[in-house]
Amino acid sequence: MWSTRISLFCVFFLVAPLKAQALDASAHGECVGGTHEVTVSGHYVEELGGEIYDGEISGLVFECQAIGVCEPSFFFPETPLPFEPYPDPNGGFPRYSAEFSIVPPISGVTYRYKPYGVRPDGTLVPTSHHCGSDHRSYALVGCGDIPIARGVIFDYASYGLPPGLDFRICDTNCWSENIWLEWEESMIEELSGLPLEVVLDEVIDIYGTRTYCGMLGAPYYDISRIEITTGGDCGSVPVKRENWDSLKAMYR
């Protein structure tokens, strides 16, 4: 029942290219008592520099994607949040903000919440955050001590290339949050508490969150620790699914 209702809802929205406007957006979120509280704010950026909102965007929705579980993404809420730009007190383009609450349909995983504008005809307007070198508009939210990524740290030298460390996600099991960092031996050993040679080529879980509004050269993630995965494979995390009614029960 749950997956059928979600699939029908997703069909309604079509992503369309930007026309005469762009939607700057930055989403943030936190877990409060098992509920994900998500906010979004930004600017309505018109190419011609006008300050009058023209009704091109009528609402806001979020694409919700569980990380580390192969389930289809869905859009929420069913009734788009109001899009009500207001003058920026500091001048410039009009500002807007919105928020909602959602009981995640799968507990024990991190969710990615990507905001979209909605036109009156139901098509979606993609968003981007115009802040320094970081253009990501989505939020990462999870309840409890759960990983945001799973994969393998490897050395390019093992492939006959110049030495250098990098991270490869377990994309076969829908671990879709790639961790773009300048991996250094000292950092890996500090985060794992293990020598580098023990961690290399092992499947690991990465804990932490993404950073926001990073300037050029700033890290895209704030990593708290890494652990070798129990079982040593790229499997999905254990999950508990909620029903559709609980999914829709809380939002504003």
Q: What is the CATH number of the domain that holds 112?
A: 2.60.40.10
Span 51-64, pLDDT tens digits: 445 668 899 999 99
Ramachandran category for residue 195: left, alpha or beta (phi over 0 → left; psi -120 to 50 → alpha): beta
Residue 105 CA to residue 113 CA, distance in Å, equals: 13
Q: Which two tokens stand for residue 224?
A: 């708290």
Same domain, 141 and 204: no
**3-class state of residue 235 by DSSP:** coil
Same domain, 176 and 114: no
Same domain, 86 and 164: no
Domain of residue 198: give its range. Answer: 149-228
Residues 6+ apart with CB under 8 A from 102: 35, 36, 38, 64, 76, 77, 247, 250, 251
Same domain, 121 and 204: no
Same domain, 6 and 53: yes
Judge whether 101 lies within some domain: yes
Same domain, 134 and 93: yes
Contact between residue 136 and residue 98 where contact means Cβ atoms under 8 Å apart: no
The reported pLDDT for the residue numbered 1 is 27
Same domain, 194 and 135: no
Span 197-237, pLDDT tens digits: 999 999 999 999 999 887 777 888 999 999 999 877 887 76
Q: How many residues does the chain have?
A: 252
Section 100-111 average pLDDT? 93
Same domain, 131 and 186: no
Query: Which residue type does 178 have?
Result: N
The reported pLDDT for the residue numbered 52 is 47
Helix, strand, coil share of the chain (percent; to 5): 15, 40, 45
Judge whether 234 lies within some domain: no
Same domain, 51 and 103: yes
Judge whether 193 lies within some domain: yes
